[in-house]
């Protein structure tokens, strides 16, 4: 091989190595969503209260316009975190404050409540098994854990609402719906959860941005023994 050829190989390898180095450093520096630990919040075997909210725009951080989930940690503080550590084989009392509006679903299957106790959720106190998103305010998001068959549709607030929240965490004086459901955690493992409504406004088909980012419209249920 000529000197020029060898030089090209060396330079090429150097560029590849530099690329990996930059990728590693950026990955290390990028913010990661913290894990909220619910395993020691109550006596062993006692139900875990998991309270979350869905907000139309987080209002702070690197993506202030993104739609997001928030979670209330065991000390009662709202956190921007979507990885939740919970005990196995334990009842979860899920409460979701939904501050976002909704729309008709592209897939009516997402209006079905699945995997919860008795296959129902309560919407502002009213038990429902299936929400027809072509009626009323439509559905804004779902809280779904596909690997264990759980899905909870989050009915939107009125599209005409004026008392809406734009900076998380949202106080309950803003217009919102309260959705409750209970379910029992499976055995230990990492179970991804996500929203199935393409709610990433401004992204292709609504599936980019917050829909494809852990920390916004998806996360993990970290189930431990």
Angstrom distance (rounded) from CA 154 to CA 29:
34
Angstrom distance (rounded) from CA 91 to CA 1:
68
Which range, of 41-49, 86-94, 139-147, 171-179, touches Cu ion by CB under 5 A?
Answer: 139-147
Q: Which is nearer to Cu ion, 24 or 159 (CB)?
A: 159
End-to-end CA distance of the chain: 60
Of the residues 69, 111, 131, 141, which one makes contact with Cu ion according to CB under 5 A = 141
CA neighbours closer than 13 Å in the CB half-sphere of residue 96: 28
Angstrom distance (rounded) from CA 195 to CA 146:
10
E strand or H helix at 48, and its extent? strand 48-55
Q: Which is nearer to Cu ion, 157 or 195 (CB)?
A: 195
What residue is closest to Cu ion based on CB? Answer: 195
Of the residues 48, 92, 113, 217, which one makes contact with Cu ion according to CB under 5 A = 217
Size of the site for Cu ion (CB under 5 A): 5
Which one-letter DSSP state was computed for residue 112? B
As measured in angstroms, the least distance from the Cβ of 140 to Cu ion is: 7
Task: Check binding of 58 to Cu ion (CB under 5 A).
Answer: no
Which range, of 7-15, 23-31, 137-145, 165-173, touches Cu ion by CB under 5 A?
Answer: 137-145
Q: What stretches of 57-119 show up as alpha helix (H) in DSSP?
A: none
Distance set, CA 123 to CA 92, 114, 130, 221 (Å): 17, 15, 11, 23
Which range, of 3-11, 20-28, 140-148, 185-193, touches Cu ion by CB under 5 A?
Answer: 140-148
* Residues between 152 and 211 that touch Cu ion (CB under 5 A): 195, 197, 199
| Token output for 181 | 């459901």
Q: Which residues bind Cu ion (CB under 5 A)?
A: 141, 195, 197, 199, 217
């Amino acid at each position: 091989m000529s000197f020029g050829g060898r030089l090209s190989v060396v330079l090429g390898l150097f560029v590849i190595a530099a690329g990996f180095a930059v990728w590693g450093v950026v990955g290390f520096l990028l913010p990661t969503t913290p894990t909220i630990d619910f395993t020691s919040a109550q006596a062993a075997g006692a139900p875990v209260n998991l309270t979350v909210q869905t907000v139309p725009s987080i209002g702070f951080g690197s993506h202030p316009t993104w739609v997001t989930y928030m979670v209330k940690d065991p000390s009662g503080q709202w956190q921007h975190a979507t990885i939740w550590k919970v005990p196995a084989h334990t009842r979860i009392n899920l409460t979701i404050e939904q501050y976002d509006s909704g729309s008709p679903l592209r897939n009516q299957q997402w209006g079905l409540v699945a995997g919860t106790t008795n296959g129902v959720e309560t919407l502002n106190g009213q038990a429902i098994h299936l929400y027809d998103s072509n009626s009323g305010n439509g559905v804004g998001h779902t809280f779904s854990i596909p690997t264990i068959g759980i899905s909870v549709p989050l009915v939107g607030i009125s599209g005409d609402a004026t008392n809406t929240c734009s900076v998380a965490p949202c106080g309950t004086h803003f217009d919102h719906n309260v959705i409750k459901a209970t379910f029992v955690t499976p055995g230990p493992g990492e179970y991804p959860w996500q929203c199935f409504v393409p709610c990433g406004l401004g992204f292709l088909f609504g599936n980019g941005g917050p829909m494809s980012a852990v920390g916004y419209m998806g996360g993990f249920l970290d189930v431990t023994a």
